Amino acid sequence: MDSNVFQTSKMKTLFQLAACTFVILSLIHLVSSEEHVCETSAYPPDEKNLVPTYVVNLDLSPLQRWAPLVIEKRHMLHSLIDDVTDLMESLAGKKIFSTIMKNLDSLAATLPYPYYEEIIGIAGYSNLPPSVITMYNVFYEVFTLCTSIVAQDADGNIFHGRNLDTGLFLGWDKKNKTWKVAELLHPLTVNLQFEKEGKIIFESTSFVGYVGILTAVQKGSFSLSLNKRFSWNGGFMGLLEWILFEDHSQSWVSFLTREVMQEAKDYEDAKQILSKTRLLAPVYFILGGTKPGEGCIITRDRDHFELMNLWTTKNGSGSWYLVQTNYDHWKQAPFFDDRRTPANQCMVDGGAKNASVGLIYNVLSTKPVLNKETIYTTLMSAQSGEFSSWLRYCPDPCLPW
């Protein structure tokens, strides 16, 4: 049998097995848990799980600005990269994987300033090839799942929270009953203060070696979280167009969000940019502002958008809050991954009179909103500038979802 055919068959079989496991576990979950028990006492979280904070000095050259953090954490970054590399090789086969990595070298060189330069700097200080740092930085487009919530209290204050879940079927650790990639990302999770001329421009929760933005707040302006959206015209299509047709008129999602955090003047400016910029991949942008009614979900495909604002939802009982997972809000969530229903239920049970970061944290701590793939929870308020993140661990019984 031709080796390429064999490897393709091998990949197909592995993905089929993963899908079967996924469905079986989900069905078990449905049978064993008809009603969701809302968490009410998770907040305040234990300070021992508080994510550490580091400074990124934007006045330094892109080659140097990540050096202190990467040098401190490079051994942990190596562990993650080694594990992901082994997994990807087992799925794709060494020959195909090697071809992919060679293409990533050429892809990296096409990334816009300052991201290519930052990736080269990170590669140098971590003693890793630029290709694997590039792979790490496009990782989001394939494997990330999330839950984001924006809520408004009776006084018009806006609160924003999110869970970031990742490690989708990436190495099950039978002994510890955890997803390996999720566990390896825990020690690489950091809060970053991006500074320029001695002032904090914005704050973000991220992973060491990752230059894009998934979760952030600009004090006095807006908060942002980014959730993956599944679509036939997805990230792979945009990636192929970028590489094969040199279509560089589209924006990398997490690079665009970083530009927005650095350059957008306010909530409305951020909303306009995130709604109308052509993207490489579909996505959900979730924004919170500083004024009553400033909260929205921007559902994006690569060229168009749908907008849902606070106080404009069809369900009047939920008009003071918005919940976004990884599925279009106008469609029913899939039975095998319904984090939306318990999140909505627990927000309604909590009530608008109790809207706060505490309520959001409790909802994000309710299973299966909290699950074994949850890396961190972040709570934000653009109005007050509050920005705190905690590492999350889901005690058994806790399914992957």
Active site residues: 146
Inter-residue contact 238 to 302 (CB < 8 Å):
yes
Q: Is 191 helix (H, G, I), strand (E, B) or coil?
A: strand
Contact 163, 240 (CB under 8 A): no
Helices in 93-234 by DSSP H: which ranges? Answer: 94-108, 115-126, 130-137, 140-143, 180-185
Q: Residue 278, SS3?
A: coil
- The counts of H helices and E strands in the chain are 12, 15
Six-digit token string for 189? 């999770």
Among 176, 219, 172, 175, which residue's Cα sits nearest to residue 194?
219
Q: Other CB atoms closer than 10 Å to residue 62's CB: what's the count? A: 18
Instruction: Give the integer Cα–Cα distance in Å for 160 and 323.
Output: 10
Q: Give the other-Cβ count within 10 Å of 142's Cβ.
A: 16
Q: Which amino acid is at 292?
A: P
Peptide bond into 52 cis (omega under 30): no
Q: For residues 303 and 228, give the distance between their C-alpha atoms in angstroms, rounded to a whole number.
A: 16
Determine contact, residues 99/243, Cβ cutoff 8 Å: no
State the residue for tokens 């994006």.
300
How far apart are the C-alpha atoms of 342 and 268, rounded to whole Å? 30
